[in-house]
Amino acid sequence: MSRRDTQAAPQLTLPVGERDHARGAAGAAVTLVEYGDYECPYCGRAYPIVKEIQKRLGRRLRFVFRNFPLRESHPHAQHAAEAAEAAGAQAKFWEMHDRLFERQFALDDDNLVEYAGDLGLDAERVRKELAGRVYEPRVREDFRSGVASGVNGTPTFFVNGVRHDEAWELEPLLATLERAAKVK
């Protein structure tokens, strides 16, 4: 028996709830949580995979994104996460989330404020909130919940609260989600 067979996969320590940014209904057949970093190239590769999974599973899927900026490796990741939270405070989290992944190559503060303006947000408010680190505690809360849940890199996915340690390419991840949706 391998070690993996004798140990349970890590679980989310902070259950999905009202504080989370979620696409899809709470009663969806399966919930996929991603701990991600907007500057991480692997998260950038996972972004279109998650989009395709959302398209294929439709109403059967609830997708949740939590911030896990790897600040030592990605100097812009923290502020990008805070910009997404600032956008969320203006009801545009997902629009900013998508923009950040689509423009991973340009995540300095001026770009973040520009994206806010492009998305119809109060860009000056976002600039002030970034300078004041208003959303730093929220990002830190996501990060700490990830560490407590066994996240040690990005992207890390959880399927119905259990860490997904297999491949996250489209077909293997989709197959795992399909199986989980049938179990519920």
Region 105-119: mean pLDDT is 98
Count Cα neighbours of 37 within 13 Å in the Cβ-side half-sphere: 23
Evaluate if pTM is beyond 0.85.
Answer: yes
Strand order through the sheet with 156-159: 21-23, 61-67, 30-36, 156-159, 162-164
Q: How far apart are CA 12 and CA 182, in angstroms?
A: 21
The share of the chain scoring above pLDDT 70, in percent, equals: 96
Task: Give the domains, in start order, of the chain with CATH numbers.
Answer: 3-183 (3.40.30.10)
Look up tokens 């929220």; give the residue: 138
Q: Is the model's pLDDT at 2 over the cut of 60?
A: no
Q: How does pLDDT run across 16-27, given as a tens digit for each residue?
A: 999 999 999 999
Other Cβ atoms closer than 10 A to 40: 22
Among 87, 112, 101, smallest CA distance to 40 is for: 101
